[in-house]
Amino acid sequence: MQQRMDRRHFILSTAAAGCATAWAQSPRPPAIVVVGDSLSAEYGLARGSGWVALLQKKLRQEGRPERVVNASISGDTTAGGRARLPALLRQHQPAVVVIELGGNDALRGLPLESTAANLSWMTEAAQQAGARVLLVGMQVPPNYGADYTRRFANVFADVARKYRTALVPFLLQGVADGDDPRAPFQADGIHPKAEAHPRMLGNVWPVLKGLLK
């Protein structure tokens, strides 16, 4: 009797060890890490209604294996993203890094040169870690002045061109430039309402899809 019990225990232990080994060896789904600010962090929205959450739903609907890691923080700048990125790269080993930062740099009046330098550093670090990069650009209102508005928009295009990365020129295309520019936004006039986020995803998805293997 004891011999049969020992044999059964051995079989169960071996099977459990085999399952554990299989789980350990099975690769995690490729990660898409989004490093953004409040526009990606669902500021003022119900959880699951922002464009990043909608991206994960889109991937599932299309039967794709990628998992989305939303590493966005409201109020973050390119300097903050630069400081956080190395740990994110080590932890998630992403296949794609989406960088949606820069708007708060403009709101705080930070030098365009530092914004460009931080975006460049993040892009290069992600590429060196083996990830493909998507830069998501932003534009500022015309009251900033025509020259600054043009130069700010060019920062994203210039970095994308230098590092040959994918680019979404303006995340809020079709949101901030409508007939009633305040209608799609929350009371602060800065953060889009939930109903605007499918359009934001619509701006990102065609470009992002081209980066997915």
Q: How far is CA 139 from CA 110, 134, 200, in A?
A: 15, 17, 14
- Based on the residue annotation, tell me whether 191 is a catalytic residue of this protein: yes
> Of these residues, 37, 38, 92, 197, which one is catalytic?
38
- Based on the residue annotation, tell me whether 188 is a catalytic residue of this protein: yes
**Residue 83 CA to its chain's centroid (Å):** 16
N-term to C-term CA, the chain: 55
> Of these residues, 147, 179, 180, 188, which one is catalytic?
188
- Could you tell me what percentage of the chain is helix, strand and coil, using 3-state DSSP and rounding each to the nearest 5? 50, 10, 35
Q: How far is the C-alpha of 41 from the C-alpha of 198, rounded, in Å?
A: 15
- Based on the residue annotation, tell me whether 38 is a catalytic residue of this protein: yes
> Of these residues, 37, 72, 191, 197, which one is catalytic?
191
Which residues are part of the catalytic machinery? 38, 188, 191
